[in-house]
Amino acid sequence: MTQNLDKLPTESFKRITIDSSQAEKISKPSLSFWQDAWLRIRKNKAAIVSMVLLVLIIVMAFLGPVLSPHDAEKQTITHANLPPKVQGIEKLGFMDGVGVVGGKEMDLYERKKVDEYYWFGTDGLGRDMFSRLWEGTQISLFIAFVAAFIDLVVGVIYGGISGYYGGRVDDAMQRVVEILIGIPNLIVVILMILVMKPGITAIIIAITLTGWIGMSRIVRGQILKFKNQEFVLASRTLGASNNRIIAKHLIPNILGVIIINTMFTIPGAIFFEAFLSFIGLGLQPPAASLGTLINDGFRLLEFQPYILLYPSLVLSLLMVAFNLLGDGLRDAFDPKMKD
Amino acid sequence: MAKYIVKRVFYMFITLFLIATATFFLMKTLPGSPISSASKLNPQQLAVVEAKYGLDQPLPVQYGKYMLNLVQGDLGNSYQFKGADVTDLIISRLGPSFILGAQGLILGVAIGIILGMIAALKQNTIWDYGSTFIAIIGISIPSFVFATFLQYWLAIKWELLPVALWDDGWKSSIMPSIALAMGPLATAARFIRTEMIEVLSSDYITLAKSKGASSFEVAFKHAFRNALIPLVTVLGPLAAGLLTGSLVIENIFAIPGIGEQFVKAIMVSDFSVIMGTTLFFSVFLIFVILVVDILYGIIDPRIRLSGGNS
């Protein structure tokens, strides 16, 4: 065997050398945080559909009241309790203005001599449900986004300070959290609503009063995990200030977790608003939110189920979409999923 | 372990003390008088009524009395029901709420576990997607929306079940229980699915398979038991969710439970009932979470409870 080696032609071998200058070359294009997340969430069909749905609902919340020929606040008593009727679709046998009166089906628009179309019908005061629905959606979304934003800011700052500075500061801050976390969310929300004048501000304060605790705990945990890692130590050795370490090294690393948590705070806030309005502690008439509309619809459930149907549908779609998007983002930001 | 429990109980009492104090002073700042005919009474009459309920004394005295009574389990008298004892009022309403909560929890968790198991064992098939879909729906759709639809279809349209009230025995409890079960169902299904998938990929499962255990045996005898343990941790949040749910569900179905009484008390500013029920809810939730945490440490020997922060 060994002798045979000599017989091999030397030209079939080529000496190669490792070019050390190429060893550090990055073969894949470098991606920013957002590009990376987008690449992965793109593969998640449910998350993409949810995103489209959310954009649609948000656009409609602003466009809806403008599109409708009727004003949301205007009460036309002669047009009260009309079922939905839409141009074109009416010929298909539904949304044709037919309702039940005294056990008989009849075209209520003809009976009440109404020439106009109310796409989602009208309520007991003759207000256009289509405009009211989208204005209600606007308010519900507004409350949810503001509440989520406040939770985010307070939670990140509180958790960040507690985690980063540690020691006695952390001890004191965590004792406060430990007591607060014991108070059931529901109790705080209801008590605060009782004390304050019912309205948008009261609901937002009630939701955020304990809402930030979850975020602060997560941020603190993440900061604790990252602050003693080598890259932070290296940065500190190179003379980076606390602010720079927090802004350039820690925050980007926990951004994913913060976003995911916010994505789950939003549907939570939407739910609490609807819940409060449903039991009568939320917005007061004539202001409408999805919760108050559902509450109105519930009272008329037996006779005009459509008043309940559309707000419930929008509320449910919003909740499903935010939850699915949250799930999708959680998968997308999970570093274990990186390929 | 003992040190941990003592510490937790200590925090529990601080929290409860804070809740009681905050509730008391918040109630005092509330607009509106609990005496419903306050505007009709002349000052002398009002003074007599206020004296009867101790409302004429300075705030610190009222607070001291309230806390002293509280320690003895006396929640005061209702303004709404001619001075009825709040503790008795709450106890008299416990039955229906407890039945609904228990039925909802058991039904939801049982079906949730089954759905989660199916999803994990048949991962990435139509079964998996189906049960994941049900779980997402259950988490997303608020129980009161679901309840109103149940009521419309099952009771009003098809007339299968009583629309509301508590007069038809267990039949009355079916719809509210289903509505309450949706949350626990979804949570349990998602949780069991994740846990099962994780457990199924662990070494001891591979070992069991390589020793020739049938896939049924592996799934139920080895994997399922271990996947079930962490489910205990979600019982606390589930209990809180059931409480929130009961406030609306009991109103929708006009069930004479605590939730319905609480919402009514809020409407008529019956301070002592609001305070009493708030405290009752707080004690219930805090106690459930404490028990769950301790239970978890006992069931799963891998978890070592210490005084540290998690």
Is the pLDDT reported for residue A338 higher than 50? Answer: no
- In this predicted model, what pLDDT tens digit does every residue of B62-77 receive, in sequence order? 888 888 888 877 777 7
Mean pLDDT of A266-278: 87
What residue ranges do the domains of chain A occupy?
A: 133-337
Q: Do B267 and A280 touch (CB under 8 A)?
A: yes
Say if CB A253 and CB A226 are below 8 A apart.
Answer: yes
Tell me the one-letter amino acid at A149.
F
Mutate to test the interface with B, among A179, A272, A304 (most CBs of B within 10 A): A179
Mean pLDDT of chain B: 80
What is the CB-side half-sphere exposure of residue A170 using CA atoms within 13 A?
16
Element at A105 (helix H, strand E): strand A104-107
Is the pLDDT reported for residue B13 higher than 50? Answer: yes
CATH of B95-255, one of 1.10.3720.10, 1.10.357.10, 1.10.4080.10, 3.40.630.30: 1.10.3720.10
Q: How far apart are CA A113 and CA A171, in angstroms?
A: 71
- In this predicted model, what pLDDT tens digit does every residue of A235-262 receive, in sequence order? 989 988 888 888 888 888 888 888 888 9
Chain A residue numbers touching B144 (CB-CB < 8 A): 274-275, 278, 294, 298
Say if CB A218 and CB A151 are below 8 A apart.
Answer: no
Q: List phi, psi (to 5°) of A11.
A: -70, -15
Chain B residue numbers touching A324 (CB-CB < 8 A): 136
Q: What residues of chain A, 188 to 227, have a C-beta less than 8 Å from chain B?
A: 190-191, 194-195
Element at A107 (helix H, strand E): strand A104-107
The answer to whether B30 contacts chain A (CB < 8 Å) is: yes
Is the pLDDT reported for residue B254 higher than 90? Answer: no
Spacing of C-alpha A222 from chain mean position: 22
Straight-line distance from the first to the last Cα atom of chain B, in angstroms, rounded to the nearest whole number: 15
Q: How far apart are CA B162 and CA B181, in angstroms?
A: 19
Omega within 30 of 0 (cis) for the link into B142: no
Q: Do A179 and B15 touch (CB under 8 A)?
A: yes
Say if CB B89 and CB B78 are below 8 A apart.
Answer: yes
- Of A48-57, A134-143, B52-61, B299-308, the least confident: B299-308
The 10 Å Cβ neighbour count of residue B278 is 25
Mutate to test the interface with B, among A175, A178, A191, A207 (most CBs of B within 10 A): A191
The two tokens of residue B308 are: 């540290």
Give the residue from chain B lying closest to A279, CA to CA. B248
Tell me the one-letter amino acid at B214.
S
- In this predicted model, what pLDDT tens digit does every residue of A148-163 receive, in sequence order? 999 999 999 999 889 8
The two tokens of residue A96 are: 């044709």
User: Which of B15, B156, B281 lies closest to A182 in CB terms?
Assistant: B15
Mean pLDDT of B183-204: 87
Element at A286 (helix H, strand E): none
The answer to whether B263 contacts chain A (CB < 8 Å) is: yes
Q: How confident is the model at residue A52 (pLDDT cuts 50, 70, 90)?
A: very high
Give the residue from chain B lying closest to A277, CA to CA. B248
Chain B residue numbers touching A294 (CB-CB < 8 A): 144-145, 148
Say if CB B113 and CB B188 are below 8 A apart.
Answer: yes
* Alpha carbon separation from B5 to A182, A199, B2, B18, B294 (Å, rounded): 15, 41, 5, 20, 7
- In this predicted model, what pLDDT tens digit does every residue of A76-97 receive, in sequence order? 767 767 777 776 666 666 666 6
Element at B283 (helix H, strand E): helix B271-299
Is the pLDDT reported for residue B310 higher than 50? Answer: no
Third-level CATH fold of A133-337: MetI-like fold (1.10.3720)
Nearest to B299 by CA among B220, B219, B227: B227
The two tokens of residue A43 are: 């593969």
